[in-house]
């Protein structure tokens, strides 16, 4: 069957790769970018180049947007609001949940539907196995365009609240960055005694894999159950003991002459939970200090 047309607005590294993926999958593609010259490689592959944002909106019911921020969408389409009527906008740019909710209202005000999305791969990952996108907004709009959007990666609908896509996206990025930043502190700690990172690697790999597992170190699942139950049993691993351990970590980092602020932030977080009365509880009680800054 004929593939449905798609308009792609924004041809940075992400948008250009998305447009190429749609083209490779057989979709007729129209592109628009503030800097028109970036469309040349796509035009050579068969994409139509819209002269104006209004022409881009007229070319397809499905409009995929990938730009630096949400302001770029207003800067690009803001003068062509009449052409928004009946369109499904899919914005895969980064922004705050508040910006996403405001954008959904803006689209609705002009007769369009907005699906927000957070795409969890860099440009080379687009359309590869394992790629996925957190979507939020009206589920029926996603279901209507699912086959097309899954050219980019699996489409996971997280809910109708348009802010959810970025909450999931930011949550995953925080996990990614903080885990890897902790690895860099760990590498620097052993490195202060001349140990190369490669000697720590197998322990780091085992440690992080165990966290996601089912064993006694499977703390992702353990914490999830405790947090959802709202019960934080300390047992033989009290938070007070772990706060003391975090203090030792700060001292070790200082002795090693490396950055102490990451470890100190961890210790301070634990300290606040202890101060709030969770010393005899378990690690999961730290969620209270995170939720109540």
* Residue of 249, 244, 241, 240 whose CA lies nearest to 278: 240
How near is the Cβ of 75 to ligand NDP at its closest, in Å? 4
Token pair listed for 92: 């895969």
Burial pattern 237-250, b for ≥16 Cβ within 10 A else e, equals: ebbbebbeebeebb
Binding site for ligand NDP (CB under 6 A): 10-15, 33-35, 38, 66-68, 71-72, 75-76, 93-94, 119, 122-123
How near is the Cβ of 190 to ligand NDP at its closest, in Å? 30
Cβ nearer to ligand NDP, comparing 53 with 138: 53
Token pair listed for 133: 């996108």
Q: Taking a C-beta distance cutoff of 8 angstroms, is the pair 46, 23 a contact?
A: yes
Cβ nearer to ligand NDP, comparing 66 with 242: 66
10 Å CB burial of residue 223 (0-12, 13-18, 19+) is middle
Q: Which residue is nearest to ligand NDP (CB)?
A: 12
Cβ nearer to ligand NDP, comparing 122 with 245: 122
How near is the Cβ of 98 to ligand NDP at its closest, in Å? 16
How near is the Cβ of 254 to ligand NDP at its closest, in Å? 35
Cβ nearer to ligand NDP, comparing 26 with 78: 78
Could you list the beta-strand ranges (E) of 126-244.
Answer: 132-136, 154-157
């Amino acid at each position: 069957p004929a593939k449905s047309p798609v308009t792609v607005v924004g041809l940075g590294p992400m948008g250009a790769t998305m447009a190429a993926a749609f083209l490779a999958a057989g979709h007729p593609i129209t592109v628009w970018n503030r800097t028109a010259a970036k469309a040349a490689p796509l035009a050579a592959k068969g994409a139509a180049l819209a002269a104006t944002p209004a022409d881009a909106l007229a070319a397809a019911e499905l409009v995929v947007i990938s730009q630096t921020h949400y302001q770029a969408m207003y800067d690009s389409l803001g003068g062509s609001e009449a052409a928004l009527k009946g369109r499904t906008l899919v914005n895969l740019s980064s922004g705050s949940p508040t910006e996403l909710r405001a954008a959904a209202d803006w689209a609705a005000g002009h007769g369009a539907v907005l699906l927000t999305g957070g795409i969890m791969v860099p440009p080379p990952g687009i359309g590869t196995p394992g790629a996925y996108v957190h979507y939020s907004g009206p589920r029926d709009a996603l279901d209507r365009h699912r086959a097309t959007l899954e050219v980019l990666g699996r489409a996971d609908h997280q809910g109708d609240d348009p802010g959810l896509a970025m909450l999931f996206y930011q949550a995953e990025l925080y996990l990614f960055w903080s885990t890897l930043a902790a690895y860099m502190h760990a590498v620097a700690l052993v490195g202060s005694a001349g140990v190369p990172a490669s000697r720590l690697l197998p322990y780091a790999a085992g440690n992080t894999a165990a966290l996601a597992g089912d064993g006694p170190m499977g703390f992702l699942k353990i914490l999830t159950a405790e947090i959802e139950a709202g019960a934080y049993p300390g047992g033989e691993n009290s938070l007070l003991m772990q706060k003391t351990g975090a203090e030792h970590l700060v001292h070790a980092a200082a002795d090693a002459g490396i950055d102490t602020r990451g470890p100190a932030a961890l210790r301070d977080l634990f300290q606040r939970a202890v101060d709030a009365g969770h010393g005899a509880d378990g690690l999961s009680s730290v969620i209270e200090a995170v939720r109540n800054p």
